[in-house]
A = this chain, B = another copy of it.
Amino acid sequence: MTDIKLNHLAIVVDDMVAALRFWRESLGLAQTGEIESVPAEAVDIAFLSLGDAHIELIQPTSSDSGVAKYLAKRGPGLHHLCLEVPDLEAKLNELRARGYELINETPRERDGRRYAFIHPKSAGGVLLELYESI
């Protein structure tokens, strides 16, 4: 048994209204909270409940953010995977020691959580976020 849990799975969308019509109204997932604007990252986000985890819908609100460029290049769809780990710093040190490439060499902090992204080329093409609640 491992102590790693799914925190959220992020989906980049080009139309939040249409996305909520599908995932919430048609499929039946429960939305947690309202659509939030995150101006610092130039995105609108919404969360759908998936047991203890969430699906995060992300819509870019400018054309020059990383998410906007991803959307322009690859189209809407699965964007990143966020796993919760008990000790983020220890996990990052272990991955670094094994030669994997981190996007965030030290954890970032926001809203009572610490997180860091692992580079997709080190995680088999997956943009992986590791997360620790603090």
Contact = CB atoms under 8 A, between A and B. Distances in A.
Copies in the complex: 2
Contacts of A9: 6, 9, 81
A126 B27 contact: no
A64 to B, nearest CB: 21
Nearest to A26: B98
B100 A26 contact: yes
Contact of A4 (B50, B98, B100, B122): B50
A74 B52 CA distance: 30
Interface in A79-130: 79-81, 83, 85, 91, 94-95, 98, 100, 120, 122-127
Given A9-B9, A50-B5, A51-B5, A125 B26 contact: no
User: A interface, how many residues as a size bin?
Assistant: 35 or more
9 contacts: A4-B27, A5-B51, A6-B53, A9-B81, A11-B126, A18-B124, A22-B100, A22-B122, A28-B85
B125 A77 contact: yes
Contacts of A12: 125
A29 interface: yes
- A22, A29, A95, A122: residue with the most chain B Cβ atoms closer than 10 Å: A22
